[in-house]
Amino acid sequence: MRKFDDVGFAALLGVVSLLFAWILWPFFGAILWAVVTAIVFAPVNERVTRAMPDKPSLAAVITLLAILLIVILPFLAIGASLVSQGAETYAAIQDGRIDVGALIGRVIASLPSWVTDFAARYGIYNADDVQTRLASWATASSQSIATRAVSIGQGTAGFVISLGVMLYLLFFLMRDGGRLIRRIANGLPLQPHRRRALLDRFTLVVRATVKGGILIALLQGALGGFIFWLLGLPSPLLWAALMAFLSLVPAVGAGLVWGPVAIYLLATGSIWQGFVLIGFGVMVIGLADNVLRPRLVGKDVKLPDYLILISTLGGIEIFGLNGFVVGPLIAAMFVTVWQMLAETLPDEEEQTPDRGGPD
């Protein structure tokens, strides 16, 4: 009878948990980023709380205001400018002010004669066909990027609601986060050392993903946007957003943006601008990842690059932009759980008796 009661309670627990997750799913992004922000800024909140131990609510409010001023408000300002530039770029493509086909034609026409002769001799490409295909692809890609930027502004009501939910939840996570973590840990049907290992791994991966992924991507995007603005290239903020987006994906970087632009500048006669962009891209944008990532992430998050790449792309496919955090987090939890299982299994080599005879 006791076993039947346990099975029934487990089934009820599973059903109720699934229903609760279903209800919260529309605010998955807001909840995720509230948790991520609380984890990243936990050290700051702890310092503020220690300064006023008898006023945890006030300490949480002060930390929340600091996050608003330092992170959220600047992001909102950048987002508004991004939407504006996206709308301008989309309109320019639609009314023909930006002729992508003509731009690509100028690049192809500036190629050295030996390149075009070699390609024509061996039938590698037909110049007109390549120009048409590249122009079609570039136009579709440019319109997609611009319309996505515009769509950010069109979902203002939903964004405001999600932002409000995030900030509201973030306040309670800052104030009551310690008690919530202890309750969650006590509710996990695991041994205490495994609970600690999972929670420590969860916190470590979240902080490493934000510091080593998002912050570096934002820095590379900002540097790329700065050099585009300095060289007088159009829509620098839109290109900065694209470079930041590509920098988030492992094995893909901002070079996919500034590289072709530098080639175009060189091909169209803007020689010094092209070389400046190449030098800045290699020496500044490229080194930002190699120099800062080891310092920000450290050596604690030991996931293979291929696993980070696959989990990030899979996370983006399923969860959208939230997948940049969710994908690597699930991969890290997967590796951690299997490592725990391997540690509990007996070593076959140690258990195998020595059947060899005397030497």
What are the tens digits of pLDDT across the range 287-346?
Answer: 777 777 666 655 555 667 677 778 888 888 888 778 877 887 888 778 877 877 777 666
pLDDT of residue 65: 93
- Would you state the structure tokens that stand for residue 300, as one six-digit string? 């604690």
- State the DSSP code for 347: P
Neighbours of 33 (CB within 10 A): 19
| Maximum CA extent, the chain | 89
% of the chain residues with pLDDT over 90: 5
pLDDT of residue 265: 83
pLDDT of residue 140: 59
The residue type at 157 = A
What are the tens digits of pLDDT across the range 127-159?
Answer: 555 545 555 655 555 555 555 555 555 556 677
pLDDT beneath 70: ranges in the chain: 1-6, 82-83, 85-157, 250-252, 293-303, 305, 344-359
- Among 231, 227, 230, which residue's Cα sits nearest to residue 243? 227
Q: What is the pTM of this model?
A: 0.67
Q: What angle do CA 344, 349, 354 make, to 5 degrees?
A: 140
pLDDT of residue 150: 52
pLDDT of residue 332: 78
pLDDT of residue 64: 92
Compute the half-sphere exposure of residue 271: CA atoms within 13 Å on the CB side of its CA: 1
